[in-house]
């Protein structure tokens, strides 16, 4: 085992004796490891947080602590198991929520909830419905959380901010890739007003600010063996933002019949059965508190977040791949095209999506 990792592991209050620390998963941002201990002692997740993206890790960890404390109180009150149904941050031996190493890298750890299953794809409507319930419940439990969170990712789902970044990078064209992606740039420009108009509803307060997760893909939910949703994980991006984006981002990831970076665009389209199921799960938990303005914009949020993802991947490509981890030179461009195909499919199905949302809101309101 990497001796350095082992030394990092010693800084945390892990129960038992560490047997092995090995890489886990394929996150696009952080480096994640599983910490396996001897015998019956709990295992843990250890992460090196990406400090280029998360420029205030201490505040990020405070946010996570606030959110998980609130969730745990709710879960306990309802007779649930707070160790299984909410994330538990593991502190360092000196009682901190993170460890900063000699290279100024930030590390954080949490308890690994045993006997859970994660999925990379929503391969059945039943699973998608459970995923929707999971994020819906998460938002519902946090709907009365008054304590503000620190905005550790200013402008994260803010289209005005994204276009500001976009305009700067397009003007700079730092690695000379702009000419090659003229058509793709037009995909963004032709939707600028439509997307800014949606964000204007957040700016005016028509769409309220709530506690939101901001990275609601299926792999960020733990399921139990029976396929029921257990716990929402990866809380790095918990923020005060508009809650529809959590729904929209989930639709972007769950309903895609292909991969986020599929090279075969024929694979990529919206699976409307999955759409209907996720929407049902989500609204079953949220229809009780969403405002009329939020309800009206549920379906649009899926287009909004998918558009944002097209923009972010393309912007990173033009910028020379500084944000997302890439497997090769064209990876961000492949992602851009696949996400654009998905956006087109959402646009084609938009009327039907609106009808499904309307129908289900009416059902859950009764």
Give the interface with ligand GN1 as residue ranges (CB under 6 A): 27-29, 53, 215, 234, 237, 260, 309
Which one of ligand GN1, Mg ion, none interacts with residue 260, CB within 5 to 8 A by kind? Answer: ligand GN1
> Which residue of this chain has its Cβ atom nearest to Mg ion in the complex?
215
The two tokens of residue 17 are 């004796």
Least Cβ distance, residue 308 to ligand GN1 (angstroms): 8
Least Cβ distance, residue 33 to Mg ion (angstroms): 15
- Residue written as token pair 């938002």: 139
Which one of ligand GN1, Mg ion, none interacts with residue 129, CB within 5 to 8 A by kind? Answer: none
DSSP code string of 101-114: -TTS-EEEEEE--S
The two tokens of residue 163 are 């276009």
Contacts of 103 (CB under 8 A, 6+ apart): none
| Nearest residue to 132 via CA among 312, 366, 356 | 356
Least Cβ distance, residue 140 to ligand GN1 (angstroms): 23
Residue 18 or 232 having the CB closest to Mg ion: 232
Residue 16 or 25 having the CB closest to ligand GN1: 25
Q: Is 296 in the site for Mg ion (CB under 5 A)?
A: no
Whether the CB-CB separation of 136 and 116 falls below 8 Å is answered with no
Q: Is 234 in the site for Mg ion (CB under 5 A)?
A: yes
Residue 259 or 293 having the CB closest to ligand GN1: 259
Q: Is 249 in the site for Mg ion (CB under 5 A)?
A: no
- First-last CA distance in the chain: 57
- Per CB under 5 A, the segment of 34-42, 90-98, 198-206, 233-241 that binds Mg ion is 233-241
The phi and psi torsions of 276 (rounded to 5 degrees) equal: -60, -45
The phi and psi torsions of 31 (rounded to 5 degrees) equal: -105, 125
**SS3 label, residue 202:** helix
Among residues 85, 184, 215, 316, the one that binds Mg ion under rule CB under 5 A = 215
Residue 249 or 296 having the CB closest to ligand GN1: 249
38: β partners: none
Least Cβ distance, residue 307 to ligand GN1 (angstroms): 12
The two tokens of residue 291 are 């405002």
Residues 32 and 58: their CA atoms lie apart, in Å, by 18
Residues 122 and 93: their CA atoms lie apart, in Å, by 39
Residue 53 or 272 having the CB closest to ligand GN1: 53
Which one of ligand GN1, Mg ion, none interacts with residue 53, CB within 5 to 8 A by kind? Answer: ligand GN1
Residues 160 and 199: their CA atoms lie apart, in Å, by 7
Pairing status of strand 44-49 against strand 229-232: unpaired
Binding mask 146-165 for Mg ion (x = CB under 5 A): --------------------
Least Cβ distance, residue 192 to ligand GN1 (angstroms): 20
Least Cβ distance, residue 146 to ligand GN1 (angstroms): 25
The phi and psi torsions of 263 (rounded to 5 degrees) equal: -85, -20
| Nearest residue to 81 via CA among 72, 68, 91, 90 | 72
Which one of ligand GN1, Mg ion, none interacts with residue 293, CB within 5 to 8 A by kind? Answer: none
Residue 68 or 91 having the CB closest to ligand GN1: 68
Residue 75 or 305 having the CB closest to ligand GN1: 305
Residues 339 and 245: their CA atoms lie apart, in Å, by 16
Residue 91 or 256 having the CB closest to ligand GN1: 256
The binding site for Mg ion (CB under 5 A) comprises: 215, 234
């Amino acid at each position: 085992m990497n001796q350095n990792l082992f030394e990092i592991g010693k800084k945390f209050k892990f129960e038992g004796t560490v047997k092995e620390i090995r890489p886990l998963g394929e996150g696009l941002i952080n480096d994640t490891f599983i910490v396996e201990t001897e015998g019956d002692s709990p295992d843990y997740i250890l992460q090196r947080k990406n400090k280029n993206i998360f420029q205030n890790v201490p505040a990020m960890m405070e946010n996570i602590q606030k959110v998980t404390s609130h969730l745990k109180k709710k879960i306990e009150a309802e007779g649930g198991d707070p160790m299984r149904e909410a994330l538990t941050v593991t502190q360092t031996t000196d009682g901190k929520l993170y460890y900063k190493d000699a290279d100024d890298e930030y590390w954080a750890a949490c308890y690994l909830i045993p006997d859970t299953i994660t999925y990379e794809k929503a391969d059945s409507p039943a699973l998608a419905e459970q995923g929707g319930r999971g994020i819906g419940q998460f938002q519902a439990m946090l709907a009365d959380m008054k304590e503000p969170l620190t905005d550790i990712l200013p402008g994260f789902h803010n289209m005005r901010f994204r276009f500001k970044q976009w305009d700067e990078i397009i003007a700079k064209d730092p690695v000379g890739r702009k000419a090659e992606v003229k058509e793709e740039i037009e995909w963004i420009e032709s939707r600028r007003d439509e997307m800014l108009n949606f964000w204007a509803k957040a700016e005016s307060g028509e769409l309220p600010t709530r506690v939101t997760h901001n990275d609601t893909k299926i792999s960020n939910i733990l399921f139990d063996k029976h396929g029921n949703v257990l716990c929402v994980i990866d809380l790095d991006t918990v923020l005060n933002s508009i809650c529809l984006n959590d729904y929209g981002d989930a639709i972007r990831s769950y309903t895609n019949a292909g991969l986020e970076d599929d090279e075969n665009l024929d694979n990529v389209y919206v699976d409307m059965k999955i759409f209907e199921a996720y929407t049902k799960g989500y609204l079953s938990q949220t229809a009780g508190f969403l405002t009329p303005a939020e309800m009206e914009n549920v379906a649009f949020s899926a287009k909004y977040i998918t558009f944002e993802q097209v923009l972010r991947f393309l912007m990173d490509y033009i910028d020379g791949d500084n944000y997302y981890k890439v497997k090769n030179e064209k990876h961000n461009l492949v992602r851009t095209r696949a996400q654009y195909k998905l956006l087109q499919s959402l646009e084609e199905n938009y009327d039907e999506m609106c009808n499904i949302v309307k129908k289900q809101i009416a059902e859950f309101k009764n």
